Amino acid sequence: MPDSPAEPPFRRIGPEAPASPVVLSVPHAGRHYSDALLRASRLPREKLEILEDRLVDRLIWRAVAAGASAIVASSPRAEIDLNRDEREIDPSTIIPPPSSRSVLQSPRTRGGLGLIPTRIAGAGSIWLHRIPQDEVRRRIEEVHRPYHAAIAEALELARTTFGVAILLDCHSMPTRDPENSGEAALVFGDRHGTSISADLLDAALAASQAAGFTAACNSPYAGGHITSRHGDPATAVHGLQLEIDRALYLDGDLRSPGPGFNRVAELIAAIVLALADRALGSKFAIAAE
């Protein structure tokens, strides 16, 4: 896969100097499918798009307008999953295969959803051939590591400015069962109480409830690599994953914006303001109005 993406693998958006302690991450909404990636796939683009958190990058504009910074992937999840440890690789899909000591086997890699996704439910195997080890290394060095470095830099700038930094890692999840009223429309993941302080989590939950949404914690999503890598409350850097039911903001085709799109954008902005307000006090909420 010799040719590189024609655009940067991610974008940093928001104010140059931090205006909020909250930094947003959108790792799974990238839609720049290079010709090389599509040639290497046995599946058409519309099947690869199943892996996306569809249009979540467009949901954050109100939160950015409220002062948050954001790191937004352009590279698609099919190319590399930024919410995985760079060692979460299925060695059987790489040529030459890496040593067993250099990989981190997990249920995700065994299910085809490791660092380099290899299978899509209902569609089968993704790649025509095993992926050259040099290509995997290129994706790690040009996409994965810079993305995480950008998150770390943004969080450090926020902490230096405000004394605290909060990462809100934004995702979408498959539509919940409408017949099961117990299934929440939002799921917050805090790595089972380890990536964010309880009072900040409470602020996010209260903002969701005030906006009319039902929310759960850690079930079925407790947060992934991004949350665990960057969330460290002991150093005043907090991390929280947010999963949003796609039916809340997409149309019936689950591809284009639906009637609830703006409401969910307002929700994310409300969560950002609530987190900043709880971290800094009411002065931030007043200044942001």
Does residue 90 sit within a domain?
Answer: no
Does residue 274 sit within a domain?
Answer: yes
Q: 239: which residues sit within 8 A by CB, 6+ positions away?
A: 166, 167, 169, 190, 191, 195, 196, 223, 226, 227, 228, 229, 230, 231, 232
**Residue 245's pLDDT is what?**
97
Does residue 123 sit within a domain?
Answer: no
| Residue 156: both structure tokens together | 């450090």
**Residue 3's pLDDT is what?**
52
Total count of domains within the chain: 1
Q: What is the chain's mean pLDDT, rounded?
A: 93
Does residue 16 sit within a domain?
Answer: yes
Three-class secondary structure of residue 199 per DSSP: helix
- What CATH number did the domain enclosing 19 receive? 3.40.630.40
Does residue 31 sit within a domain?
Answer: yes
**How far apart are alpha carbons 198 and 200 in whole angstroms?**
6
Residues comprising the chain, all counted: 289
**Average pLDDT, stretch 33-52?**
97
User: Is there a contact between 224 and 241 (Cβ–Cβ < 8 Å)?
Assistant: yes
Does residue 162 sit within a domain?
Answer: yes
**Residue 60's pLDDT is what?**
98
Does residue 87 sit within a domain?
Answer: no
Supply the pTM of this predicted model: 0.94
Does residue 119 sit within a domain?
Answer: no
What are the tens digits of pLDDT across the range 193-233?
999 999 999 999 999 999 999 999 999 999 999 999 999 99
Range of the domain at 48: 10-79+140-288
